[in-house]
A and B are shown apart, each in its own frame.
Chain A
Amino acid sequence: MDLDEFKEIIHRCFRCGYCKFTHNYSDFNCPSFDKYKFESFSTGGRMWLIYALMNKETEWSERVANILYSCPTCGNCMENCRFEKFNTFLVDIIEAARARAVESGFCPERQKTLLERTINPKYYNPYGEPNTNNEDLKQKYNLPNQAEWVYFIGCTSNYRQQDLRDATLKLLKSAGISFTLIDEHCCTSPLIRTGQIEPVEEFMNYNIERIQETGAKKVITSCAGCCRTLKVDFKKQDIKMDIEVLHTSELINHLLKEGKITFDSEINKIITYHDPCHIGRHLGLYDAPREVYNNIPGIDFREMERIKGDSWCCGAGGGVKIGYPDWALEISKERLEQAKKTGAQIISSTCPFCRTNLSDANIKFAMGFEILDLVEILDKIQITAHKK
């Protein structure tokens, strides 16, 4: 949405500061405010700055752009802002302001590479990796051209977290799901989050067309960012799609509840779960992953202190990982320290981008965890499909 569409609500932010906290006010839970401390780096500060920019009370500058971009769009502000008439729009407003920064020539250089790589016909992904049409995977897993489901792999799983991708493919096969793959291009989450929206509609239409060619009416994704984009941003963009989108954790939970799969071997580890912001606070998907973990035999599942709506962000989202790589790892380090208190051996998540950043921090700060996605844990156990 264009920033002007929010003009009637931006000034309604009072800057009361609820957006900075956890639900019970135990600490600041906005990574950006926690780091930079200036009021300008709170969501309220950003709203006031954006309003001032719109009214020309202040001007665009590198500092203003940095204030707007140093936010992982984790949604803690949406979760804790008390003003129900506009709290759901807070991240949208920040993203729309970033789009205005792009138009005004103030997109930070590092974030620009996301666009440059994504629109490059060699790549079509933000990592600058040669685009794969996924035909080799289709052959390897003997996948049809037409199917009930499309597994939308997502760029991070396909180009950075192939273990997670392969575990998902194996899981879907062993569960007896009728699915296929497409020659997917980036879902555009990194572009939307960083305000580089010019090619978004074209990319969305491309992906929808590829999905429709398979005859699938359902899409599964193992990426929280893709999931939020397909479920929310496609609709906001008015993309015509009669397609149900499910995150892998939702699908697995459905299959368990319907008795279509069972977990038939144990994993004797202490595991804690990190809620990805883009399926957590952005979509409210908290219970399905937990129900799956709690169905795994042998698992000792322990919660961190800040979970669900209070979850501390991993620090990767919103262009922070590419824009502020050191800070992104600092944010993850904080999460790892929270996990340490549970005694967990494994930190598990349901997002390849969270997995990447948590893993990077785990290595950099020698925290000694095993970082695994839910599907990677399931890959270690015996799963039996049952015809029902």
Chain B
Amino acid sequence: MNKEKILSELQKIVGNAFVSNDPAELYIYSIDPGASKPRSVNFVVMPASTEEVQAIVKLANEYKIPIVPMGGGLTLSGLTLPVKGGIVMDMKRMNKIVEINKLSRYALLEAGVTTGRLQAYLDKNYPELQVSVPDAPPSVTVAGNALINGSGFLTHQHGDHGAMINGLEIVLPNGELCKLGSCGLSDYWFSRGPIPDLIGLYTSSFGIMGIVTKLSIKLYPKPKMRDLVFGLFKKTDIIPNLLYKVTSTDLVEDILLGIQGKPDWMADYIFIISYITGNTQDELDKKEKKLKKMYRKNGARFMKAPPRLRDAFLEKPQFAANAADFRKGGGFEYVGSFFPLEKVPEAIEEGVKISEKYGIVPTLGARIFGATHTVMVFFTYAFNRADPDDIQNARDALKETNEITLKLGGIPWKGELEAQKMILEKIDPQYKNLLKTIKNHLDPNGIMNPGNWEVN
């Protein structure tokens, strides 16, 4: 690799200030806050436009150097750490909110727009609209989160964030530009179809199919009021029926489950948190009353939440990153696994056992997607970044959780390299062949985040 030449070419494309191969930047971009081991980076580059992204991709093809696109860099599973070295393309300079279409309810964004900024922008300028806010820090990007099938506060009603994508502008692995969704033939980025839906190629594929430079994400009406109805129960076996019953109504906007080993009073319970919304207090009161009854009838009981807990769950985004300090150590990673509803009790029981086996306070939860079409169960493993043994302990717990997930019929979400390998070992061989065919055809030089979904 002619590093000097590549550096000089990258500088010509984005300007000297926005490319670095200095060890200081390379260090920071070689390591993420999850449990993945550091992986080496050769260059960090920050394009400001689609044209610059295209030029960089063409350059990467010329020199056969890998490119790894990065949004907020907070997947926690090392998805933006290059497996085979190369260029990390940090998208944050592409930060324009291009359009808010109020009537058709979508936001057209460049790939570097953060969830925090979009949320604040809507609150200020379009208070009647909302975007589904993920349980992630506000520094994650809307595009990055949607492209890993993230989830958030409207997921029960509308599915995961990948499902909320209306359209994508993509720089293909050969540097050509492609628009997917209605934007491919219309000025309006309002719909994925009705045309062959290729957007799915770009979700959970972690950049191996090209680099997304713009996306249209769905927006939703925002009711004036929002509250929570907490419930609790002890036995996991009531979960499927309880969730099925609650989601059989249109009472709730969103539903979470929570299991926490600390503080002690929480340890014996599973919590259900139903988010209710409305335009009047009367509307909320009626929903709360119905939910209390529903909880009672299905084996749970209502709990008046302490104000601090209530505020924490109502906050958008939730401060989920606080798990990073559970072991006073600045690190956590979680397996968020997608399960069918009927497997959730076992998944939770196994997750608690794994936590206890590895000496980690059980911290699990679940989010309901699209009226129980999917339940994402997350198993959180905090670790102390200053203690290599503790990091390895978290890695071991993650591995075991991935194994259990697959055994139970679930699928690890945004899996790190090892999880991806496990999935590929289990997946239908023809699925793998199809993936390989598409990938090799699109990216014959193998420059797009190579090492992820390795099917070559």
Residues on A close to B: CB < 8 A?
11-18, 20-22, 24-27, 36-40, 45, 48-49, 52, 57-59, 61, 63-64, 67, 82-83, 85
Contacts and interface: CB of A to CB of B under 8 A. Distances in A.
A220 B445 CA distance: 68
A61 B384 CA distance: 28
B137 A12 contact: no
Contacts of A82: 319, 321-322
Contact of B139 (A11, A17, A64): A17
B139 A20 contact: yes
Given A61-B22, A82-B319, A21 B73 contact: no
A59 B31 CA distance: 16
Interface stretch (B119-127, B203-211, B252-260, B434-442): B119-127
A20 B72 CA distance: 12
Given A40-B28, A85-B325, A61 B23 contact: yes
Is the contact region of chain A dominated by helix, strand, or loop, or is it mixed? loop
A13 B385 CA distance: 9
Contacts of A14: 33, 321, 324-325, 330-332
Given A17-B139, A25-B120, A12 B28 contact: no
B68 to A, nearest CB: 14
Contacts of A57: 27
A24 B115 CA distance: 11
Contact of B137 (A18, A24, A27, A45): A18
B305 interface: no
A63 B22 contact: yes
- Report which residue of B74, B138, B328, B385 has the largest number of chain A beta carbons within 10 angstroms of its beta carbon: B138
B10 to A, nearest CB: 14
Contact of B92 (A13, A37, A40, A45): A37
Interface of B: 17-18, 20, 22-25, 27-29, 31, 33, 44, 46, 72-74, 90, 92-93, 114, 116-117, 119-121, 123-124, 137-139, 319, 321-322, 324-325, 328-332, 384-386
Q: Closest 9 A-B residue pairs measured CB to CB?
A: A25-B116, A17-B139, A14-B324, A26-B120, A25-B138, A16-B321, A16-B137, A11-B386, A12-B330
A341 to B, nearest CB: 14
- Report which residue of A16, A36, A57 has the largest number of chain B beta carbons within 10 angstroms of its beta carbon: A16
B437 to A, nearest CB: 36
Given A38-B46, A39-B90, A85-B325, A58 B24 contact: yes
A25 B330 contact: no
Contacts of B386: 11
A15 B29 CA distance: 12
A59 B23 CA distance: 9
Is the contact region of chain B dominated by helix, strand, or loop, or is it mixed? mixed
A48 B137 contact: no
- Report which residue of B44, B72, B330 has the largest number of chain A beta carbons within 10 angstroms of its beta carbon: B330
A11 B20 CA distance: 24
B329 A38 contact: no
Contact of B24 (A16, A17, A25, A63): A63
Nearest to B115: A25
A26 B117 contact: yes
Nearest to A58: B27
Contacts of A18: 137-139, 321
8 contacts: A14-B325, A17-B74, A17-B138, A24-B120, A26-B120, A37-B90, A38-B20, A39-B25
A271 B360 CA distance: 56
Given A14-B324, A40-B28, 19 more contacts: A11-B330, A11-B384, A13-B330, A15-B74, A16-B324, A17-B74, A21-B138, A25-B114, A25-B117, A25-B120, A26-B120, A37-B93, A38-B20, A38-B28, A48-B28, A57-B27, A63-B23, A82-B321, A85-B325
Contacts of B117: 25-27
A25 B22 CA distance: 30
Contacts of A48: 27-28, 31
A159 B379 CA distance: 60
Contacts of B22: 61, 63
Given A16-B139, A16-B321, A40 B114 contact: no
A85 to B, nearest CB: 7
B316 to A, nearest CB: 10
A327 to B, nearest CB: 11
A21 B139 contact: yes
A20 B17 CA distance: 20
B117 to A, nearest CB: 6
Contact of B27 (A16, A21, A27, A52): A52
Contacts of B332: 14
A38 B93 CA distance: 10
Contacts of A61: 22-24
Given A13-B330, A40-B25, A58-B24, A25 B74 contact: no
Contact of B123 (A20, A24, A63): A24
Contacts of B123: 24
Contacts of B329: 11-12
Contact of B28 (A13, A16, A20, A39): A39
A12 B116 contact: no
- Report which residue of B18, B22, B123, B332 has the largest number of chain A beta carbons within 10 angstroms of its beta carbon: B22
Contacts of B330: 11-15
Nearest to B92: A37
A330 B437 CA distance: 51
A24 B29 CA distance: 27
Nearest to A67: B24
Given A17-B139, A18-B137, A58-B27, A37 B121 contact: no
Contacts of B92: 37
Nearest to B331: A14
Contacts of B25: 38-40
A234 B17 CA distance: 39
Nearest to B120: A26
Given A16-B137, A17-B72, A25 B90 contact: no
A62 to B, nearest CB: 9
Contacts of B44: 38
A71 to B, nearest CB: 14
Contacts of B384: 11
Contacts of A27: 117, 120
A37 B72 CA distance: 12
B328 A21 contact: no
B97 to A, nearest CB: 11
A112 to B, nearest CB: 21
Contacts of A63: 22-24
Given A21-B139, A37-B18, A38-B46, A16 B33 contact: yes
